[in-house]
Chains A and B, each alone.
Chain A
Amino acid sequence: MRTARLVRQSLRMMARSKLRSGFMMLGSLVGVAALTLVVSVGEGANRKMLATVDQIFGGSSILVFARGGGLMGGPRGEAVRLSLADAEALARELPAITDWDAQQGLPNAPVRHAEANATARVLGQTERTWNRGVTRGESFGAAAVAGSARVALVGETVVRDLFGGADPLGEEILISSVRFRVIGVLERFGTDAHGMDRDDEIVVPISTAMRRLMNADTIQAARLVVKDPAALAATAGEVTRILRERHGLTSGQPDDFVVRTSLQVQKIVVKVQRVLFLFLPLVAGVSLLAGSTVSASLMLAAVNERVGEIGLRRAVGALPADIQRQFLLETAVTALGGGLAGLLLGFVLAEMAARRFTLGNVFSWQAILLGLTAAAVTGLLAGVVPARRAARLQPAEALR
């Protein structure tokens, strides 16, 4: 009876002192919001990294990058020698390779449409367009690649910059003064793990890029899909052997290409994730500490401000334990309320960050769990000291 009466009265008083209760919530609100923001964005960044890796490697595959034969700072070596024929030969000779693709492109090509000018990354690819679909129009087929057709797939940033967001399908654009027809819009990707806007891209048939845009007969990279991950390492060795042979490299000469398997990249990803997940508890600890400190000082201020009330309650029969329970209850309720508000604020901020940096979905159960735990710990840490101080006040002194 007595406890229930006292709890009800405490809650009623808190509801009436909205300003004070709100202030008391600030500590856990700030702490939990910071925590939620960092954890959500961390998770979003992690997802983004995995998506980037997945987009480049497409599951289990080997990437071959071209490299000039020269060493850093040394005399300029031979020109890039990786070619479409190399990729075709590898796919023919190594049965583990189930599919392949190639890429050649310009990192910064001037593009024009009517009066609008921009620059974009132009990628020449085969009809197997490196795992990226189109959301409007259609992709180009094998015939376009074979015939070096001047057709282009444009990213959403290009649509915005050149067409002001209007429908680009069927329109003509100039890439390095070569006329192309837009036949499709690439699905949105956002910023990749390197911070590059992957929507500021134009994809054209690789043959067209090589012949009409770059006048090159080499490629920058080839992707060799190896369905069986167990065969990756052995196949990578074979790829190196065959390419050295085709490029006529003697045993003293360095490779003029770089071979990367998706397994190697996976290892890097795991390393990055480990850093991320070591970093998160640290941030959690710091925001928790900050939140607790703020809450505790606000609670102490509340106790000091309410010395008279504490004295009165003691005079009319409250036990020190009643006073302690009252203040603990108040901190618990405000910590929980502040924690929930902090979660909401943290997610809103994370969502804004995600929009700004196109991170995608940032909702994280981990953040909710951590946030609520943080709120509880904040409340506990912040509540105990002020509540005990309130309970220890001598009634005669408190009433003075």
Chain B
Amino acid sequence: MIELQGIGKTYTRPGGDAVRALDAVSLRIGRGEFVAVVGASGSGKSTLMNVLGLLDRPSDGRYLLDGQDVADLGVAELARLRNRRIGFVFQAFHLLPKTSALENVELPLLYSDRASIKGLGRRALEAVGLADRIDHRPSELSGGQQQRVAIARALVNEPDVLLADEPTGNLDTRSAGEVMALFETLHEAGRTVVLITHDPALAAHCGRIVHLEDGRIAAAREAS
């Protein structure tokens, strides 16, 4: 479904020096896979996540999404693809404050071209086990619950792939376990999940692990 061919990304620092964040990254992710991208900070994994999530364009190489080169797409088409085909889960949750769980989950629906969005947000919250927290605000939820709301938001438009960037980075061990269990359930239900993390223990939950070092893929191996 996702195919990266020789992707490179070069940033220009404000000082003027160029930074090679990604170099010759080639990667295929098939439908239904649960892939971990593991690397130390500065290894380029966030850049890879941005490229995969169509938030950033690569400097070189080709990104084929279902065989279509995304370099050909304009800003509006990329926004539509992000809206319908990609679900994001962030380390910092990125929930809107003072806004109910349901409304937070509905945010991607607002930007979709669906005629009716009724019931979809509630169903997504049910899928993450928060049916009884629909009207709670983020400040009234625990960290683990907040991240589950964020996962419901990522799921609400029925995307092809979930991109999770350090989803347990701000959570205690128990909540982290709950969130990982949720990802596993989603994977078992057939969803494609890409987990980006620095933590090999988390990566061990996944079917495949991709190691990034200094912007290059160091090793990719099947989980034992």
Contacts and interface: CB of A to CB of B under 8 A. Distances in A.
B45 to A, nearest CB: 13
B55 A316 contact: no
Interface in A353-400: 394-396, 399-400
Contact of B96 (A2, A309, A318, A394): A309
Nearest to B137: A16
Contacts of A396: 50, 55-56
Interface string B35-61: 000000000001000100101100000
Interface stretch (B78-86, B124-132, B201-209, B215-223): B78-86
Given A16-B99, A395-B56, 18 more contacts: A1-B114, A2-B113, A6-B110, A6-B111, A9-B110, A13-B98, A308-B92, A308-B94, A315-B53, A315-B88, A316-B88, A317-B79, A317-B112, A318-B79, A319-B111, A320-B75, A322-B111, A396-B55
Given A13-B96, A316-B82, A399-B90, A5 B110 contact: yes
A313 interface: yes
A312 B94 contact: yes
Interface of A: 1-2, 5-6, 9, 12-13, 16-17, 308-309, 311-320, 322, 394-396, 399-400
A45 to B, nearest CB: 47
Contacts of B82: 314-317
28 contacts: A1-B115, A2-B112, A5-B117, A6-B110, A9-B103, A9-B107, A13-B96, A13-B98, A16-B99, A308-B94, A311-B94, A312-B88, A312-B90, A312-B107, A314-B55, A315-B55, A315-B82, A315-B88, A316-B107, A317-B83, A319-B76, A319-B79, A320-B75, A394-B55, A395-B56, A396-B55, A399-B55, A399-B94
A312 B56 CA distance: 14
B32 interface: no
A312 B153 CA distance: 11
A311 B56 CA distance: 12
Query: Which secondary structure dominates where chain A touches chain B?
Result: helix
Contacts of B79: 314, 317-319
Given A16-B99, A308-B92, A311-B94, A316 B153 contact: yes
A326 to B, nearest CB: 11
B108 interface: yes
A314 B113 CA distance: 15
A234 B53 CA distance: 91
A399 B83 CA distance: 16
Contacts of B108: 316-317
Interface centre among A13, A313, A316 (most CB of B within 10 A): A316
A317 B55 contact: no
Contacts of A319: 75-76, 79, 111
A258 B108 CA distance: 83
Interface in B107-148: 107-115, 117
